[in-house]
Structure 1
């Protein structure tokens, strides 16, 4: 298969459907931030490449970023709510039940960093899958959780999309 044809096809597809870019990014970051699901989907690597594709398709960075922030924020919020509701029984739900060491590391991380764990945890792969859930289980105050959640979602979305977008501008223009 010709790589140039593949590149052109992907760019044309994204350009023709640019209105859906924030929504699709939101779904991807929602899945990446949602406890249980993020253990199954390897979207982080894809998200870094998406920044490049969006810039190459001339989709405004801040439009894509806003979709990514919304999805990441909502995914963590739902994980937090599940933790509040289910408490420790959430640890028995598959696929989390297959990763007891991850739960131990997440609890230790949360106890060590407190509210900062929600912010910092988003940047550490496996911890990202459980930290919001653990914050809910440990009954972290809602306002504190949401402040850390929004701040981390905003910075994280920038960090994953900006390198690709910047590289695209450097390489394509």
Structure 2
């Protein structure tokens, strides 16, 4: 099977099931934004590729973007709530218990940038996994967290999907 046949099969599958695309993308970004899980799921590369697929399958960009925003927002929100509820006990759960340097880097990042850490942290791989959790542990006010969470989820979703969606028109046709 050649690369063109694989591309055509994937695009045909996505076109057939296009109604599920925002939900599937939301699940992917939820996992990518959820503490603990995001350390195990390397979905960033896949999400960038999803931009190409949604364009090739003629799925409206805004639908995919809304799905990505919803998943990213909810994943960070749940991580924040876990931090508020369990405080530093959350650090004792695997895989964070095996990566204490990750939580230390996240804490230093949060202490340095304060509320901006939630926005900026979403764009930095390993920190993305723990910054919302740390915001909850440090009891960042909920309205401030949610404002940073929504803003960062909106921008991040665009940044990961738009390049593929924009380039697809030049590379696939």
Scaled by the length of structure 2, the TM-score of the pair is 0.99
2:79 paired with 1:79: yes
Q: Tell me how far apart the structure 2 counterparts of residues 101 and 75 of structure 1 sit (CA, whole Å).
A: 22
Cα displacement (A) at 1:148: 0.1
Scaled by the length of structure 1, the TM-score of the pair is 0.99
Q: Tell me how far apart the structure 2 counterparts of residues 98 and 65 of structure 1 sit (CA, whole Å).
A: 34
3-state SS in 1 of match to 2:55: helix
The match for 2:170 is 170
Q: Tell me how far apart the structure 1 counterparts of residues 96 and 60 of structure 2 sit (CA, whole Å).
A: 37
Q: Write the mapping of 1:1-173 to structure 2, written as runs, cut at 5 A.
A: 1-173=1-173
Q: Tell me how far apart the structure 1 counterparts of residues 143 and 87 of structure 2 sit (CA, whole Å).
A: 19
Q: Tell me how far apart the structure 1 counterparts of residues 7 and 48 of structure 2 sit (CA, whole Å).
A: 16
The superposition leaves residues 56-96 of structure 1 with CA deviations (integer Å, 9 ceiling, x where unpaired) of: 00000000000000000000000000000000000000111
Q: Tell me how far apart the structure 1 counterparts of residues 32 and 71 of structure 2 sit (CA, whole Å).
A: 9
Cα displacement (A) at 1:5: 1.4
Q: Tell me how far apart the structure 1 counterparts of residues 45 and 169 of structure 2 sit (CA, whole Å).
A: 20
Cα displacement (A) at 1:123: 0.2
Q: Tell me how far apart the structure 1 counterparts of residues 147 and 92 of structure 2 sit (CA, whole Å).
A: 28
Q: How many residues align?
A: 173
Return 5+ residue gaps in structure 1 as ranges.
none
Cα displacement (A) at 1:172: 3.2
Q: Tell me how far apart the structure 1 counterparts of residues 124 and 117 of structure 2 sit (CA, whole Å).
A: 10
